A = this chain, B = another copy of it.
Amino acid sequence: MSASPLILISNDDGITAPGIRTLVKVMKELGEVVVVAPNSPQSGMGHAITVGDTLRLEEVDIFDDVKAYECSGTPADCVKMAKHYVLKDRQPDLIVSGINHGSNTSISVLYSGTMSAALEGAIEGMPAIGFSLCDYSWGADFSHTEKWIKIIAEQALSKGISKGVALNVNIPTKQNEEIKGIKICRQARAKWEENFDERNDPFGRRYFWMAGNFVNFDKGEDNDEWAIANNYVSIVPCQYDLTAHHTITELNEEWEF
């Protein structure tokens, strides 16, 4: 870690979202901050990138004493532009993404633009963390998250994060009760069960709203859903090597081709 570390910030709720302001505030205490974030909300964008279309990038003056750029692309695009265009030869000491308005525990990590920015940072060889608050409201209170974000970012800066890994941090919503601490977790086994609300537009054509219920199948106490339900901050180390290594032997033994 350099004397004043370079910290890149992105998110998926867009550069004007309240959550990113808390992240900027805390990171300014730890180093030099550069923000490259989407110019519009990008929730649910997963690891999408812009293919076959153009990108815009504009410098904006919306954070005190912080270089900031808004990008027309996805969170993953933002990190790619930050690394290869905005910062060029300067490698950030840390990339943080968020604070997401809403939980990214369990299976939601797959759909999360917040975590795709963090994983993109990990691909680029930076220690990377995605932060989410388990409260979807735009006016959510982020004040209690500052302490935990600072602790985790300081550890990442001083100890590093294993190669190929980004941390998925979820923080319980503000309650009367104090947060109990931090738990290192695995991703809970759960999924979204969708339903489709069918309607007709003013022209008589059918359209749908996709809605879903979160279904938790996991009985363990070592996962992120359990941690959040029990008022702990959860940290799941996530990797972008999707290989299910444990099944390679099985496929080699049992499949015939």
Q: Which residues of A contact B (CB under 8 A)?
A: 41, 43-52, 54-57, 73, 76-77, 80-81, 83-85, 107, 109-111, 116, 119, 123-124, 151-152, 155, 159, 162, 164-165, 168, 181-182, 184-187, 189, 191, 193-196, 205-210, 235-248, 250-252, 254-257
Contacts and interface: CB of A to CB of B under 8 A. Distances in A.
Contacts of A45: 46, 48
Q: How many copies, total? A: 2
A186 B177 CA distance: 45
B244 A165 contact: yes
Closest 7 CB pairs of A and B: A46-B47, A44-B51, A239-B244, A238-B242, A46-B46, A237-B244, A48-B48
A224 to B, nearest CB: 9
Contact of A257 (B84, B110, B151, B193): B151
A211 to B, nearest CB: 10
A129 to B, nearest CB: 12
A49 to B, nearest CB: 5
A240 B155 contact: no
Contacts of A164: 244
A247 B241 CA distance: 13
Given A44-B49, A155-B257, 6 more contacts: A45-B48, A47-B111, A55-B210, A81-B194, A83-B194, A239-B242
Contact of A84 (B56, B186, B193, B248): B193
